[in-house]
Amino acid sequence: MTETRRLCLVLGDQLSLDLASLDGLDPERDVVLLVEVMEEASHVPHHPQKITLIFSAMRHFAHALRQRGFRVQYVPLDEPQNTGSVPGELRRWQSLLHPQELHLTECGDWRLEQSLKDCGLPIQWHGDTRFLCTRDQFAAWAEGKKQLRMEFFYREMRRKNGLLINGDGSPVGGAWNFDAENRKALPKGITAPYPARFSPDAMTLEVVALVKERFPSHYGSLETFDYPVTQTDAQALWDYFLDYGLAAFGDYQDAMASNEPFLFHARISAALNIGLLDVRQLCSDVESAYWSGRIALNAAEGFIRQLIGWREYVRGVYWLKMPDYASGNLFGNTRPLPAFYWTGETKMNCMNHAIGQSLEHAYAHHIQRLMVTGNFALLAGIAPSQICDWYLAIYMDAFDWVELPNTLGMVMHADGGYLGSKPYCASGQYIKRMSDYCRDCAYKVSESTTDTACPFNSLYWHFVMRHSNVLRSNQRMGMVYKNLDRMPEPKQQALWERGEALLARLDAGESL
């Protein structure tokens, strides 16, 4: 066998031919290593579709590398010699191949990266050039700032990458952010495009059978798996969105509707996060769609902001603040995650829909995550670590670098406002305004203190009251506390008692 010069370990969320550690790869002398390991598939109970996506995409990527003439060592989950961990497999193959060099691109998980750094091997690390802002660049931007703001970071990213920028450096349309135009509820008569689906091929069906056998206790359906697992199919999903979804995405990106799990959303975040799509090309395509007159500015700006603003921002916060960031718990929450998060069995129609589709498709869009399942966890005082683990487990696109800051920081405000300036909390009135969920709910969103009142209503005010000492000084919460102070004492007491009763039911293990 040819002597191995370089052994390149490629992780399951790094399936890009442009990966920095693959640069300069010699097909004759170098080896690419991909490993399916139990530790990564089960450190939280990942949705079966998520495991299927990653393992199948890894196998297809290995096939694509071999077709290009590269030497690939692929370790399936059920190989008898599989050590069960990424560091264990790297050590095993280092001892088998005796490579002169070990190469690896930065991980998307602090836990995994640390275990590799501690495994006793001389790894040559590469920056993850799939992102537009390096860890060091973000740290330099954040230096000296007591509180970070995504909006300012986003503007800098726009300027740096020349996206939707006029010749004089000003933003196209005269404003940086058109988010105020992107908050429309879905009107009657507007229908979403039929979702693009990708039938599993023989390789994917083998993975489906493996996942069914090895992860029978993990929550979530495997029957509806229809995600792209190759770069070609991921590009087809993206092209479909450009043609049929993007024009309406801006207006209705925050909308929610019964039996419409996808609406006008692209569903490309999982493919992007594992390397099947390139963020630069996505931004270029969206900008081109605007300049050609196919979409409005609010749709183009809103989508680009998610890609180069929020996505890059949360990654920067993650690597700047880990590992201490993961233990944040501003409100001292200790309540366990209710069992209905794993089953969807609740009379709250909004929660039933958001959790139900998450179990069925391993997907929910950002408002369902933030203002339904996340909002409830915040108001109910759920332990941040438990809701963070749930998001990491249940969603196809959830990797630690993106899930943890979004959940712990934005959803739970557990980082003390470092990532976001205010808690994203709301009563049932927000859900009523942005969806049709309340129409068929067993609870009444028009009521707050009765036994049939929407739980979000009293829990919202209970949250505001019980954390007054922390939140009253927050300028963005000023109007909320003015409204609370104007509220008659008997109404406040009734809201408090209804909230206490609901929390007692959660503590007793009951569903709401």
Domains in the chain (CATH in brackets) are: 6-126 (3.40.50.620), 135-193+245-320 (1.25.40.80), 339-507 (1.10.579.10)
Q: What is the rounded distance in angstroms from the CA atom of residue 462 to the CA atom of residue 441? A: 22
**pLDDT for res 1:** 52
- Whether residue 304 contacts residue 317, with contact meaning beta carbons closer than 8 Å, is answered with no
Q: How far is CA 402 from the centre of its chain?
A: 5
**pLDDT for res 191:** 86
Q: Which residues contact 77 (CB under 8 A, 6 or more apart)?
A: 36, 37, 38, 41, 55, 210, 214
Residue 387's CB: how many other CB atoms inside 10 A? 25
Q: What is the rounded distance in angstroms from the CA atom of residue 402 to the CA atom of residue 322? A: 12
Q: Is the peptide bond before 323 cis (omega within 30 degrees of 0)?
A: yes
Q: Quick one: which of 232, 197, 286, 215 has its CA closest to 52? A: 215
- Structure tokens given for 495: 């809201």
pLDDT in tens, the chain (512 residues): 568 899 999 999 999 999 999 998 999 899 999 999 999 999 999 999 999 999 999 999 999 999 999 999 999 999 999 999 999 999 999 999 999 999 999 999 999 999 999 998 999 999 999 999 999 999 999 998 877 889 999 999 999 999 999 988 899 999 898 877 677 888 888 888 998 999 999 999 999 999 999 999 999 999 999 999 999 999 999 999 999 999 888 889 889 999 889 998 999 999 999 999 999 999 999 999 999 999 999 899 999 999 999 999 999 999 999 999 999 999 999 999 999 999 999 999 999 999 999 999 999 999 999 999 999 999 999 999 999 999 999 999 999 999 999 999 999 999 998 888 889 999 999 999 999 999 999 999 999 999 999 999 999 999 999 999 999 999 899 999 999 999 999 999 999 999 999 999 999 999 99
Please list the residues that pair with 67 across neighbouring strands: none
Task: Could you list the beta-strand ranges (E) of 313-405.
Answer: none
Phi-psi category of residue 416: left, alpha or beta, with phi > 0 → left and psi -120 to 50 → alpha: left
Q: What is the rounded distance in angstroms from the CA atom of residue 121 to the CA atom of residue 125? A: 12
DSSP string, 205-253: HHHHHHHHHH-TTS-S-STT-----SHHHHHHHHHHHHHHTHHHHHHHT
Q: Phi then psi for 158, rounded to 5 degrees?
A: -60, -50
Q: Quick one: which of 109, 68, 96, 458 has its CA closest to 318? A: 109
- Structure tokens given for 218: 């993990």
- Whether residue 485 contacts residue 452, with contact meaning beta carbons closer than 8 Å, is answered with no
- Structure tokens given for 151: 């909006």
Q: Quick one: which of 193, 347, 151, 178 has its CA closest to 254? A: 178
Q: What is the rounded distance in angstroms from the CA atom of residue 40 to the CA atom of residue 245? A: 33
Task: Could you list the beta-strand ranges (E) of 12-165.
Answer: 30-35, 71-75, 101-105, 123-126
- Whether residue 460 contacts residue 379, with contact meaning beta carbons closer than 8 Å, is answered with yes
Q: What is the rounded distance in angstroms from the CA atom of residue 222 to the CA atom of residue 208? A: 8
Residue position matching structure tokens 């001892």:
95
**pLDDT for res 460:** 97
**pLDDT for res 475:** 87
- Whether residue 453 contacts residue 447, with contact meaning beta carbons closer than 8 Å, is answered with yes
Q: What is the rounded distance in angstroms from the CA atom of residue 313 to the CA atom of residue 322? A: 14
Q: What is the rounded distance in angstroms from the CA atom of residue 425 to the CA atom of residue 376? A: 8
Cα 418 to Cα 317, 401, 410, 426, 449: the distances in Å are 9, 16, 9, 20, 34
Residue 310's CB: how many other CB atoms inside 10 A? 18
- Please give the model's pTM, rounded to 2 decimal places: 0.95
Which residue type sits at 150?
Answer: M
- Structure tokens given for 501: 């009763």
Burial of residue 135 (CB within 10 Å: 0-12, 13-18, 19+) is middle
Identify the DSSP state of 476. G
Helix (H, G, I), strand (E, B) or coil at 32: strand
- Whether residue 387 contacts residue 411, with contact meaning beta carbons closer than 8 Å, is answered with yes
In the chain, % helix, strand, coil (3-state, to 5) comes to 50, 5, 40
- Whether residue 264 contacts residue 141, with contact meaning beta carbons closer than 8 Å, is answered with no
**pLDDT for res 498:** 96
